[in-house]
């Protein structure tokens, strides 16, 4: 085989290096994170007025607002994830590097996940305050993590795919929203039940489906990401 394969860096180290690269370039003055936080806060506030929420429906509608905010934020983050590479013609360089291709996928997945989590750390407490909902329940935090991950799993794959197409910023949500529908629906449902204080029996169907969707999308990404790289 190729000589480069022998010196192939360990997958985990590569993932770490990619993550570090994205974080560094963010710290060096890319305003993505700040813009995402402000955007997410705006969404939360706008929905509060657009829906004119009453106390009685807050648990069910509030979960929807929370998830729309996360999904919008994640979509914006995804659009940026591969954009930086493309602008600096780094994409080809990355793909030519003797790196396990899956390492690229997981590096990008984790950096996207980290960005959304950083935004959520600011926005979710504000949301809890404004909507007066027990967002910090452990089960709801689990749903938030699993749902965000479930959205980014196909999202990272499709962002890599859309990065080569025309009108990619518009194309990504068009491709991703219908695919991620099971994740969004089950996450909203699970959050609704948790926020309303339901028993586990009522939470379980949505929660289990969310976990199942995560696993299926993970398996698909692992199987298919190779195909996105020119042989």
Residue 222 to residue 154: CA distance in whole angstroms: 10
43 lines the binding site for other proteins (CB under 8 A): no
* Binder among 61, 95, 179, 222 for other proteins (CB under 8 A): 179
Figure out which of the listed residues 62, 107, 112, 154 binds other proteins, where binding follows CB under 8 A. Answer: 154
- Cα–Cα distance list, 125 to 20, 41, 121, 195 (Å): 27, 11, 7, 14
Contact with other proteins (CB under 8 A) among 121, 181, 197, 200: 181
Contact 112, 77 (CB under 8 A): yes
Query: What is the C-alpha separation between 83 and 77, in angstroms, rounded?
Result: 10
Q: How crowded is residue 148: how many other Cβ atoms within 10 Å of its Cβ?
A: 23
Q: Per rule CB under 8 A, is residue 101 in the interface with other proteins?
A: no
- Residue 139 makes contact with other proteins by CB under 8 A: no
Q: Which of 202, 211, 218, 222 binds other proteins (CB under 8 A)?
A: 202
Binding residue for other proteins, selected from 158, 159, 194, 195, defined by CB under 8 A = 158
- Using the contact rule CB under 8 A, the part of the chain among 51-59, 70-78, 123-131, 198-206 near other proteins is 198-206
Quick check: 102 binds other proteins (CB under 8 A)?
no
Q: Decide if 204 contacts 76 (C-beta within 8 A).
A: no
Output 8 or 58, the one with its CB closest to other proteins: 58
Closest of 189, 214, 200 to residue 113, by C-alpha = 214
- Out of 109, 162, 194, 195, the only residue in the binding site for other proteins (CB under 8 A) is 162
Of the chain, the end-to-end C-alpha distance in Å amounts to: 15
- For residue 218, the minimal CB distance to other proteins (Å) is 12
Question: Which residue in the set 120, 161, 194, 195 belongs to the binding site for other proteins (CB under 8 A)?
Answer: 161
Helices 181-195, 168-179: axis angle to 10 degrees equals: 60
């Amino acid at each position: 085989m190729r000589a480069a394969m022998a010196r192939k860096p360990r997958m985990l180290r590569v993932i770490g290096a990619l993550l570090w690269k994205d974080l560094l370039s963010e710290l060096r003055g890319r305003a993505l994170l700040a813009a995402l936080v402000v955007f997410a806060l705006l969404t939360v506030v706008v929905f509060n007025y657009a829906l004119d929420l009453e106390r009685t429906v807050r648990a069910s509608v509030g979960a929807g607002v929370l998830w729309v905010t996360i999904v919008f934020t994640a979509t914006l983050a995804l659009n940026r994830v591969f954009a930086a590479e493309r602008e600096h013609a780094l994409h080809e360089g990355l793909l030519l590097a003797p790196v396990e291709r899956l390492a690229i996928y997981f590096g990008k997945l984790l950096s996207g996940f980290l960005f959304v989590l950083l935004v959520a750390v600011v926005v979710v407490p504000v949301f809890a305050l404004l909507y007066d909902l027990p967002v910090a329940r452990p089960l709801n935090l689990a749903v938030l993590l699993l749902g965000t991950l479930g959205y980014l799993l196909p999202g990272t794959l499709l962002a890599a795919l859309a990065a080569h197409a025309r009108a990619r910023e518009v194309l990504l949500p068009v491709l991703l929203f219908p695919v991620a529908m099971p994740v969004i629906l089950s996450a909203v449902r699970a959050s609704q039940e948790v926020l309303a204080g339901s028993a586990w029996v009522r939470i379980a169907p949505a929660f289990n489906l969310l976990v199942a969707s995560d696993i299926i999308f993970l398996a698909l990404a692992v199987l298919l990401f190779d195909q996105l790289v020119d042989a």
